[in-house]
Structures are given as C-alpha cells and as structure tokens.
C-alpha cells in the first residue's frame, strides 16, 4: 500500500478520537473562562431531585430545593469552608452549619456540595478518559440546541469516584454538558442529571448567605 494511503487510513482512525478529546478539552477550557453559572438540575437514577443551582468562582454554591424538601436551601462558601443548611422553607430562623463532608448535605449518590460544580465533573471525566476510551457516539437536537454525545469508558479497576462509564451530552454552542449519566462497573446507572436553563456569567449579588 502506498505511503499516502497508509497515512490517510491512519488519520481516518485517529480523527474521531482527536475530535472527542477536543470536545472534552474545549469544555474544560470553557469552564475555566466563565465566572459563574445558574441551572435547574433534574437528577434521576437512585433518587429524583430538582434543584435551582447557582455557582460562582472560586467555589460559592447555592442550592434551592424544589423536589423533594421544597423550600429547603443550602449554601457553601469557600472562604469559610462551611455549609449552611436551612432544612425547612417555612422556618427561616433554623439554619444549621456543618462541614461539606457531613452526610446530611451529601447527595443521594454521595456527592459533596463543594465538589458539585461542572468543573469537578469535567475533571473526573478527563481522569477516566486518560485511563480508558473516549469517543463521539452521535449528534442530537435537544430543545433547539445541537449536542454531541460523548462516551467515556474507564479501564477495568480504574473507576473515577466509583464511576466506570460516562455519557455526556455536550452543547456545541455553550461547550458545556446538558445531560450527564454515570454508570458503575456493571453498567448500571448511578445517576443522570439534566442541566436545564443553563446561563453563564451572571452577577448574583449577596445570594450566598442564609
């Protein structure tokens, strides 16, 4: 086979992998470039939750719960390293203070509030991809947005946070995930999350207090 044909065949196999890595890296760079974001997170899998989520660098988080525990609110501040939780919407005076490692403020899947942002998710996805495979499965249209579906599968015995496989629906315009699904070694769904109404670079003011 002539050398040129060998090169072309090599590039045909290489380009999908390169495209996948580029999409994931673009998402990482996009997160580095933004200052804040807000979204409505709808999770499914082990538990169903709907949360109004706000994030501002260098790590301020506010969650207002819609389902379950409607009216409850949670704030994490990196300057104090503490989480404040108002467990009941009808009682504004009852506010608990605790560490982000406390079980009471972990998600049903065990995620910590100080590690709940998209940036941490993308780092975990990159970590899994470094010891596994990364490829583009397809393109889809979602709510008038074009998304690219990435699949990341880790090597055996090298899970990232007990996750063996990710599916990421990456918004081509925003360059951030619209849906994320994580799976264990048995390919059972651990958790899926929709990021609805995703808006970047908002000015929140004094919302990170309870």
Q: How confident is the model at residue 7 (pLDDT cuts 50, 70, 90)?
A: very low
Query: What are the structural domain ranges in the chain?
Result: 17-200
Query: Is 161 a residue whose pLDDT tops 90?
Result: no
- Order across the sheet with 165-171: list the strands: 96-98, 82-86, 73-77, 60-67, 49-56, 36-45, 189-200, 177-183, 165-171, 145-154, 132-142
Residue 92, pLDDT score: 78
CATH class in words for 17-200: mainly beta
Residue 88, pLDDT score: 86
List all residues 6 or more positions away from 26 whose beta carbon is below 8 Å from its beta carbon: 175
pTM metric for this prediction: 0.87
Span 157-176, average pLDDT? 86
Q: Distance of CA 25 to CAs 19, 21, 84, Å?
A: 10, 6, 33
Look at residues 59, 17, 55, 19 and name the one whose alpha carbon lies nearest to residue 39. 55
Q: How confident is the model at residue 22 (pLDDT cuts 50, 70, 90)?
A: confident
Query: Is 97 a residue whose pLDDT tops 70?
Result: yes
Residue 9, pLDDT score: 41
Span 128-145, average pLDDT? 90
Bridging pattern class, strands 132-142 and 96-98: unpaired
Q: How far apart are the first and last CA of the chain?
A: 70
Percent residues over pLDDT 70 in the chain: 89
The secondary structure element, H or E, covering residue 68 is: none
**pLDDT tens-digit map of 43-82:** 998 889 999 999 999 999 999 999 998 999 999 999 999 9
In the chain, which ranges are continuous DSSP H helix? 3-33, 118-130
**CA separation for the pair 205, 210 (Å, rounded):** 13
Q: How many residues does the chain have?
A: 210
**CA separation for the pair 203, 210 (Å, rounded):** 18
Q: How confident is the model at residue 204 (pLDDT cuts 50, 70, 90)?
A: very high
Query: Is 89 a residue whose pLDDT tops 90?
Result: no
């Amino acid at each position: 086979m002539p050398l040129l044909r060998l090169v072309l065949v090599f590039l045909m196999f290489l380009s999908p992998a390169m495209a996948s890595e580029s999409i994931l890296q673009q998402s990482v760079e996009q997160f580095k470039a933004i200052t804040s974001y807000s979204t409505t997170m709808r999770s499914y899998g082990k538990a169903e939750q709907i949360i109004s989520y706000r994030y501002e660098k260098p790590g301020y988080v506010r969650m207002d719960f819609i389902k379950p525990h409607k009216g409850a609110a949670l704030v994490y501040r990196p300057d104090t390293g503490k989480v404040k939780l108002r467990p009941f919407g009808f009682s504004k005076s009852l506010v608990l203070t605790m560490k982000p490692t406390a079980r009471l403020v972990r998600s049903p899947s065990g995620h910590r509030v100080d590690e709940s942002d998209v940036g941490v998710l993308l780092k975990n996805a990159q970590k899994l991809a470094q010891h596994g495979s990364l490829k583009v499965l397809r393109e889809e249209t979602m709510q008038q947005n074009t998304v690219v579906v990435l699949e990341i599968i880790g090597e055996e015995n090298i899970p990232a946070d007990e996750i063996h496989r990710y599916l990421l629906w990456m918004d081509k315009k925003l360059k951030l995930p619209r849906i994320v699904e994580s799976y264990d070694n048995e390919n059972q769904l651990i958790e899926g999350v929709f990021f609805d109404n995703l808006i970047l670079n908002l000015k929140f003011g004094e919302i990170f207090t309870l």
